[in-house]
Amino acid sequence: MRLERAQWLASRAGREALAELGSELEALDAAAQAGRLRRTFPAEEAAALGEQLALRRRARERFGELPVALYSAEGLEMMTHPLVARRRAARLAGLGLPAADLTCGLGGDLAALAAAGIEAAGLERDEATALLAGANVPGRAARGDAARPPFTLDRLAVVIDPGRRAGGRRTFDPATFSPPWEVCLELLQAARAGALKGPPGLDHAAVPPWCELEAVQVGRDLRELTLWGGDGAEPGLRRAVLLPGGHELDSRAPASEAAALRFGRYLFDPASCVTRAGLVQQLAAALGAWQIDARVAYLASDRPARHPLAAGFEVLEVLPFGVKRLREVLRARGWRPAEIRKRAFPVEPDALRGSWAGSRASP
């Protein structure tokens, strides 16, 4: 976002203008919104308000709520899901330490820290984003560089969420994060305690042994891998977290070594957070199941079981796979699957769906 636009939005006039927009305006399409706004505001202010309405709609679609008042497109892309931010803040609140969000962005995590009663401050390197964060969490955010924080870190709990875009594109190389991953690890290690947010696909080789690892999922979406260090963290521990229910499984739980290349009457598909945290065997033990292949996370059992971190299915038929054979079976049974799951299989579900286009829906 351009600095001038951020300055106006963060000003008293901009915030009052946004607050006065009625809900009926939000229900209009973009063209109708723009026309209505231009009749009341100068062109640049109307454009800024229209952008905020669009970003608010996107935030509600993504989160189901509005974590903060002001947005930028870039900041919204990086914002932590509010459920994850609140859970992280609650854990940090238990440490009784002041906190610093070294990469606060629009202030989503910072707002959660403040709401948890933590004395917290935030830094944001981009000037326009820092202005928006300062309006979103008044008195808490300032412009600054996470790599050179103006804080004594060994007295603080820190939150670090490095930028993962380079040249306008998302990057998956930790060395190109901003700050780079190694710098983030140094900051985490220097702090009294803290959390470092990584992307869901982070290579486990990038996780040092002195960290605790959490794979955090919201609904069916794996949101992040979080590294915890310092006070309250258990080095080497791995944990799977499923929100909003707060369901957890960690590497201290009993693990099953059972494996067999056969199906039982029931099949279980572990949640993504379980597989990313490397806890499939712990889940197998909890279910009384076995892993059908060491390279594939599906579990099987001859007895029914339930676990919030696994989807369970009754096995109706097992047959050698072939698209033609599958189509014939579906048509003969009058089945039309509502959901397709796959692991270690080269064909995407959307490609398979076309194979039974003529099948009748199941009753």
For the chain, the average pLDDT equals 92
Q: What 3-state DSSP class applies to 290? A: strand
7 & 105 share domain: no
Q: DSSP per residue over 307-355, as a string? A: -TTEEEEE--------HHHHHHHHHHHT---S----SS-SS-HHHHHGG
Q: What mean pLDDT comes out for the span 160-185?
A: 88
Residues 51 and 80 in one domain: no
Looking at the structure, tell me whether residues 9 and 85 fall in a common domain.
no
Residue 271 lies inside a defined structural domain of this protein: no
- For the cut 80, the answer to whether the pLDDT of residue 360 exceeds it is no
Q: Residue 359 pLDDT > 50, yes or no?
A: no
Phi, psi of 150, rounded to the nearest 5 degrees = -85, 40
In this structure, the answer to whether residues 57 and 149 fall within a common structural domain is: no
Q: Is the pLDDT of residue 164 over 50?
A: yes
Residues 6+ apart with CB under 8 A from 170: 164
The reply to whether 147 and 44 lie within a common domain is no
What pLDDT, on the 0 to 100 scale, is given for residue 362? 42
User: Which pairs from 98-102 meet CB under 8 Å and 24+ separation?
Assistant: 98/155, 98/156, 98/157, 99/156, 99/157, 99/158, 99/159, 100/149, 100/151, 100/153, 100/156, 100/157, 100/158, 100/159, 101/158, 101/159, 101/161, 102/146, 102/149, 102/158, 102/159, 102/160, 102/187
Amino acid at 202: L
d(CA 177, CA 123) in angstroms, rounded, equals 17
Of 188, 210, 236, which marks where a domain is finished? 236
| 182 in a structural domain | yes
Res 167 pLDDT > 90:
no
For 224, the 3-state DSSP assignment is strand
pTM for the whole thing? Answer: 0.91
Domain span including residue 152: 76-236
In a domain, 318, yes or no: no
Instruction: For residue range 79-109, list pLDDT tens digits in order.
Output: 999 999 999 999 999 999 999 999 999 999 9
Q: Are residues 42 and 83 in the same domain?
A: no
Question: 41-45, 161-165, 299-303, 306-310: which has the minimum mean pLDDT?
Answer: 161-165
- Is residue 284 assigned to a domain? no
Buried b (16+ CB within 10 A) or exposed e, 46-65: bebbbbbbebbeebeeebee
Q: How confident is the model at residue 304 (pLDDT cuts 50, 70, 90)?
A: very high
d(CA 50, CA 43): 10
Residues 21 and 102 in one domain: no
Asked if residue 85 and residue 40 are part of one domain, the reply reads no
Domain count for the chain: 3
In a domain, 210, yes or no: yes
- In this prediction, residue 361 carries a pLDDT of 42
Let me know whether 109 and 213 are in one domain. Answer: yes
